[in-house]
Amino acid sequence: MSEKIIMLACAAGMSTSLLVQKIQQVAEKQNKNYTIFAKSTSDIDTQLNSDNIPNVVLLGPQVSYLKAEVQSKTDAKNIPMAVIPMVDYGMMNGEKVLELAENLMGVE
């Protein structure tokens, strides 16, 4: 079983799939047993009510306009949420995005 579950959400769940791979590579190099996946923003409700509830939700910058709506849903479940910085997203910087997720989850 995974130590932590990190969910990335974007418009269709497609554009973040490469970033998921980059984050997974960094996590594996650091010997971290994380489940990292991308979903469409339309799947957030389903995911938050599933057996695979994420420990953190990261929004792609292209859907940052949904931040308040998603924040209310994640707050109700006591799950931290943030928008991935545009620079880190654009550069596909898995290390920085993993660091963001871990900071939100309180991982040392």
Q: Strand 56-59 relative to strand 34-40: parallel, antiparallel, unpaired?
A: unpaired
Query: pLDDT band for position 1 (50/70/90)?
Result: low
Mean pLDDT to the nearest integer, 5-13:
90
> How many domains in the chain?
1
* Mean pLDDT of all residues belonging to the chain: 94
Residue 108: its pLDDT value, please?
A: 75
What is the CATH number for 61? 3.40.50.2300
Mean pLDDT to the nearest integer, 8-13:
86
Mean pLDDT to the nearest integer, 35-44:
94
Q: Which of 5, 7, 10, 20 is catalytic?
A: 10
Q: What whole-number distance in Å separates Cα of residue 90 and Cα of residue 29?
A: 22
Does residue 78 have an active-site annotation? Answer: no
CB 35 within 8 A of CB 67: no
* Residue 68 pLDDT exceeds 80: yes
CA 17 from centre of chain? 11
Residue 15: its pLDDT value, please?
A: 72
* Residue 13 pLDDT exceeds 80: no
What is the residue range of 68's domain? 4-105
DSSP letter, residue 85: P
Residue 25: its pLDDT value, please?
A: 97
